[in-house]
Structure 1
């Protein structure tokens, strides 16, 4: 081959690359991805085409040859909407309950209620019931992984290695949250176990969640990676708040901040389900459009604001309940406490 023909051929290739890149960036909504029995995209027929791989849309930091190899061996998005909605409900319910419990303890202690609602025995029973509820939620999640959403029905060799690894990641998440429920049950029944073990297991569960989701998006598209990165961020912050609570006991602000992060996780799981697996035949999101990332970043902030609104409304309701209802149930005790408080105030004034 002569030098002139070699130069002309490569010149033509480099002239065509910008056209291919422009077409890839302005492509419409991606078509469904054909996959084989192992859950992998078929070469040259998936959402990530050769042109998109060469243009660097999938992984801009890769050279064209590595991008082509990635496009050939990339994976499809595995999951469904119920698989994200179910943990979303779990996180939202448990976050709402944790905020309710923290506010109730704080309000009862602030108003010095001696009624049964603020007693230590009641909160021990609530910790026991909370542990049972968390263990039940994790068992429901594990059963759903096995028998629903195309699960293997306890026959592991029926799955491809790729699906098996993804299912094992979700199973690990449920297992560590199950340990949290077991710790709550033991701490409420065995007096020799320190209560701080609950906060330690809670921080471990959320740290494991952030670590698993950080390594959960290999070979996926841009928007899919972004929504999971935000989930990693909020789960890590939740674990960090729980660990700080383990070091500094009984701080209402830290407890409410941790509850707000858990509420945000619940709502964000629902948002991920709507983005990746739109229910009811709705229009699919363009997973390669950067405008969708900008829109979801704003939505993430508004969901966090919604979590604070929920906690604020919960605080107002519990405060009203303690002040107006519990005083009617034990007026003599409240009157006695008022007399003691007045005497203490008069002594301080003297």
Structure 2
């Protein structure tokens, strides 16, 4: 949608997805590093998390497509108007296409979980293709538009294509926590930058930006670097909270287990002493 809400919806999706990936991969990394070398089979809990992730991708993509198509000024599933010999709301159609490929990515993740013959890494490959399609669409999304409008969308491509390349590497390099957190960071960056695009092009306070002023382009470029720093901070804080919580819970669990063992050993020794006294 050509308004602030049209950029806030994908921005919220990417921010939530980045947070989810950070939590999931930090938990998986903690489990891998705390297990013996011979034990590498993930517990069912992580498989359930992947089911939730795939279902969320499909649901969010469906909602995004419905919103883009059936808003009041949307195309309502019409691509070409024969009466006026013109295309109908191609911007909405491009956004719908972007959501479609993220839905395909979710379906690929579910298929890799339920069908044993699906090759390992199909989920990462599908997500990489979805991000590539997103960047490919935005590359020609702003052709002929005002300089600042084209610039803010061009900056988005750095995060999109970097995320696509990271996912492609994960097809061949599995369980690398640095690649996994970098992927989450690029989703954080995309999400926050979508909001920034909405603020620049459709300001909520009504004060329009000068889309031809070079100083605005310089400020937006600097602002993108701030968003990059913010995405690094979000990943770091989220990962630190998850690590601290997981470590503390595991320590408490071990203390309880040790206490139970000590109690049971004391009880067994008391029983043995009673039996010996009875015999005497």
What TM-score does the superposition give when structure 2 sets the normalisation length?
0.84
Hey, what does 1:59 align to over in structure 2?
A: none
Hey, what does 1:250 align to over in structure 2?
A: 175
Counterpart check, 1:278 vs 2:197: no
Counterpart check, 1:152 vs 2:68: no
Equivalent of residue 99 in structure 1, options 22, 25, 44: 22
Equivalent of residue 176 in structure 1, options 93, 96, 101: 101
Equivalent of residue 229 in structure 2, options 291, 305, 320: 305
Please give the per-residue CA displacement for 1:126-177, whole angstroms capped at 9, x wherever unaligned: 1111111000110111011112151133355569734433232222111111
Structure 1 residue ranges without an equivalent (≥5): 1-77, 336-350
Inter-partner Cα distance in structure 1 for 2:246 and 2:187: 25
Residue 216 of structure 1 aligns to a residue in which SS? Answer: coil
Deviation at 1:195, TM superposition (A): 3.6
Please give the per-residue CA displacement for 1:255-283, whole angstroms capped at 9, x wherever unaligned: 1111111100000000000101112x420
Hey, what does 1:315 align to over in structure 2?
A: 239
Deviation at 1:234, TM superposition (A): 1.2
Inter-partner Cα distance in structure 2 for 1:104 and 1:188: 19
Matches within 5 A, 1:198-217: 198-217=123-142
Contact 1:108 1:322 (8 Å CA) reproduced: no
Contact 2:80 2:87 (8 Å CA) reproduced: no
- When residues 289 and 111 of structure 1 are mapped into structure 2, their CA distance, relative to the original with a 3 A threshold, is same
Contact 1:213 1:228 (8 Å CA) reproduced: yes
Structure 2 residue ranges without an equivalent (≥5): 260-280
Deviation at 1:185, TM superposition (A): 1.2
Please give the per-residue CA displacement for 1:221-254, whole angstroms capped at 9, x wherever unaligned: 0000000101112101110010011111111101
Please give the per-residue CA displacement for 1:52-109, whole angstroms capped at 9, x wherever unaligned: xxxxxxxxxxxxxxxxxxxxxxxxxx70110000000000100111111111111222
Contact 1:102 1:252 (8 Å CA) reproduced: yes
Inter-partner Cα distance in structure 1 for 2:33 and 2:257: 15
- Which has the larger displacement, 265-274 or 248-257? 248-257
What TM-score does the superposition give when structure 1 sets the normalisation length?
0.68
Inter-partner Cα distance in structure 2 for 1:163 and 1:254: 40
Q: Across the two proteins, how many residue pairs are aligned to each other?
A: 253
Larger relative contact order (C-alpha < 8 A, sep ≥ 6)?
2
Contact 1:80 1:149 (8 Å CA) reproduced: no
User: What's the C-alpha RMSD, in Å, of the aligned pairs?
Assistant: 2.2
Equivalent of residue 232 in structure 1, options 157, 179, 183: 157
